[in-house]
Amino acid sequence: ENFDPCRPLLVGGLLASEDAMGYQQLRLKKHRWHRKVLKNQDPLVFSVGWRRYQALPVYSMQDANSRHRMIKYTPEHMHCHATVYGPMVPQNTGVVCFQTLSGKLASFRIAATAVVLEVDHAMKVMKKLKLVGTPSKVYKNTAFITGMFNSALEVAKFEGASLRTVSGIRGTVKKAVKAGAALKGVAKGADEKGGPRATEEGTFRASFEDKLLLSDIVFLRGWVRVDVPRFYNPVTSLLNAKGEKWLGMRTVGQLRHERSIPIPVNPDSIYKPIERPARVFHKLQVPKQLQAQLPYKSKPKIESARKRETLEQKRAVVMDAEEKKLATLVQQLNTIRNDRSVKAKAKAAVKRAARAKETAKEEAWRATLQKETRKKRYREEGQAEKRKAMKTHGMK
């Protein structure tokens, strides 16, 4: 129906093993001529062997313990791992990635190049998870934490996980508390209707190595698995009629640009000045009965503030002629010294300003040099890693 005699077609077949679908792990590197970095889970067109299809890659870096940690963007001048869903292909197969197949681009069209490292039906990519909670009740080394989880099921999944407070006290998640249960010794506050406030959903019991304060903040640093989207969209541009364009999934940036939608701003993600009010601790109050039983060296000896002036403050000093001369001389010497000090400080400030200007120029030059050196080192490390990987797979 849409046959075009001006466009040659090459017809071939696929083996039975090549029809299987699964996850592929690629060693990917953004092309140095591509202007922008690639965003995680943005659609890319992969050209693998005879196939061209669109998928949503999940980028990751491999840590020292072989964990694949998800990253939001591809690194500059370095390789990273990309996990995509598509048909199975042999290892060491070359891959070329495009963001769009349009031929009207003024810039370089190839977004990245990659090679297939591993093929599996399930890949494990992790990302960091940081949860925050506050203690609602403290019993010695045990505390009840609220606001970290939303249900007892979530608490059950993190039983035994390690906790840490801002002050550095370590702890462990023990067990969830039944929602609505009243904790022993907790002063029940009134809710909007005036009734007693019950325990919130997701409250759990935790054990720490030291006693917490109610003003402490508790953190849980963990890892959660990222699901790789099972999205596979074959490119069928050769089946379209002449003049028709193949339209695949568009990126979020393209959709916002087409519909003139501004980038959403999360107020919690905006950097704000940190204001930490100075903590005022209550004074130590020792009961009078206990003071009477203490030895003299342990009794508080803080004198109360005087309400009346002392004799030295009350009496007037009358100077004779010689003392007046000496006081005048000392005052003149102090005036001369203060004037010299002001001039010396002004001169030092001018010198510091000139020195800071020279230092800024030197730091700017040094930063440029370090950037070029770092870029060169990353390029050499990427090439060395690529050669090593090719040599390893070649030996296999």
Count of CB atoms situated within 10 Å of the CB of 23: 20
Report the pLDDT value the prediction gives residue 175, as an integer from 0 to 100: 92
Report the pLDDT value the prediction gives residue 395, as an integer from 0 to 100: 61
Report the pLDDT value the prediction gives residue 396, as an integer from 0 to 100: 55
Which pair of structure tokens corresponds to residue 115? Answer: 């090679």
- Label residue 27 exposed, middle or buried (CB < 10 Å: 0-12, 13-18, 19+): buried
- Location of structure tokens 């102090």: 334
Report the pLDDT value the prediction gives residue 181, as an integer from 0 to 100: 67
- Phi, psi for 154 (deg, rounded to 5): -65, -40
Residue 142 to residue 136: CA distance in whole angstroms: 11
Residue 65 to residue 71: CA distance in whole angstroms: 16
Q: Give the helix ranges, DSSP H, for the chain.
A: 152-157, 252-259, 288-293, 311-314, 321-395
The whole-model pTM stands at 0.61
Residue 107 to residue 102: CA distance in whole angstroms: 11
Q: What is the pLDDT along the chain (396 residues), one digit of tens a residue?
A: 677 777 777 787 777 777 888 899 999 999 998 888 999 999 999 999 888 999 999 999 998 888 999 999 999 889 999 999 999 888 899 999 998 887 677 678 899 999 999 888 778 899 998 999 999 999 889 999 999 999 999 999 899 999 999 989 999 999 998 876 666 555 444 444 443 345 788 899 999 999 999 889 999 998 889 999 999 999 888 777 777 788 888 888 888 989 999 989 999 889 999 888 887 878 878 888 998 899 988 888 766 777 888 888 888 888 899 999 999 999 999 999 999 999 999 999 999 999 999 999 999 999 999 999 999 999 999 999 988 888 887 765
